[in-house]
Amino acid sequence: MINYLELSKEVEKALKLGKPVVALESTIISHGMPYPENVETALNVERIVRENGATPATIAIINGKLKAGLTPDEIEYLGQKGREIVKVSRRDIPFIVAKKMDGATTVASTMIIAALAGIRVFATGGIGGVHREAQETFDISADLQELANTNVAVVCAGAKSILDLGLTLEYLETFGVPVVGYKTDELPAFYTRRSGFKLDYRLDTPEEIAKAIFVKWQLGLKGGVVVANPIPEEYEMDYDVINKAIEDALLEAKEKGIKGKETTPFLLAKVKEITGGKSLDSNIQLVYNNAKLASEIAVELSRMG
């Protein structure tokens, strides 16, 4: 593994000492936001992780190396290159590494690299899931299978509201992935705090969440945990406005024949356009909120061993 995985000195030191580390993805930098907001957001997220007692490990593939912990210059590079950087999920990793290419990691591939490095907590915006009309298209994000198999806790603002949230929860339940609401009884829907879908578990402190995660893995129960952390009230979008924007974006995607891994970036960009940029502001704030909670959970988890 030493030939493929490269830890920054800061991340390596923290892991050796058993200090809390939080993994961060890079697709949000290259594909999720425009430049320069993407770089600014990524650096702010790292600052928030540090302020809350943990070490940030932004994850990407640079020149064929699986990297946990990027320099500011590497983050700037990913941000400026944007969509020229390949979006990498599980299936893509060996090809990008073998060809010594650069890759921006999705939730699934970030989980894989985090687990290889020994990082147990990961903060992102929203997880992928079962797409609407999946009964016809079979379009289901690889994030869900990764959550079933990889021991990393993922702190997110629920699943992206462009998805079929009910089917996403059903899929996670089938594969034994717990979805825990942080101070909420229902699944948050990325831009909004509510979705109408009730969760089985609600926990109100980072310590309680860390304890449940610790016990799960101590029992040998393989797989991740979804920690669903609602967007702060002051930044959430109007439920009806965002759903109308999503419906319009989905219709346009269908008309244009956009499918597969191009779907999510197209829909998010379209929703941003329809909402006059408000969805981007919400997206940034929910990522900051998740980084804070992930750091607090990582701190508690590191105390447990």
> Which sequence positions are flagged as catalytic?
25, 160
Amino acid identity, residue 19? K
The span from the CA of 121 to the CA of 118, in Å, is 10
For residue 207, give both structure tokens.
């310590």
Is residue 141 a known part of a binding site? yes
Is residue 23 a known part of a binding site? no
Is residue 139 a known part of a binding site? yes
Is residue 226 a known part of a binding site? no
Q: How far is residue 46 from each of residues 16, 59, 83, 127, 225, measured CA to CA in Å? A: 20, 12, 22, 19, 22
CB 228 within 8 A of CB 151: no
Q: How far apart are the first and last CA of the chain?
A: 24
Is residue 238 a known part of a binding site? no
Is residue 100 a known part of a binding site? no
For residue 99, give both structure tokens.
């060809």
The span from the CA of 89 to the CA of 146, in Å, is 10
Mark residue 286 as left, alpha or beta (left: phi above 0; alpha: psi -120 to 50; beta: remaining). Answer: alpha
Residue 275 DSSP one-character state? T
Binding-site residues for Mn(2+) sit at: 139
**Binding-site sequence positions for substrate:** 87, 107, 141-143
| Binding-site entries | 87, 107, 139, 141-143
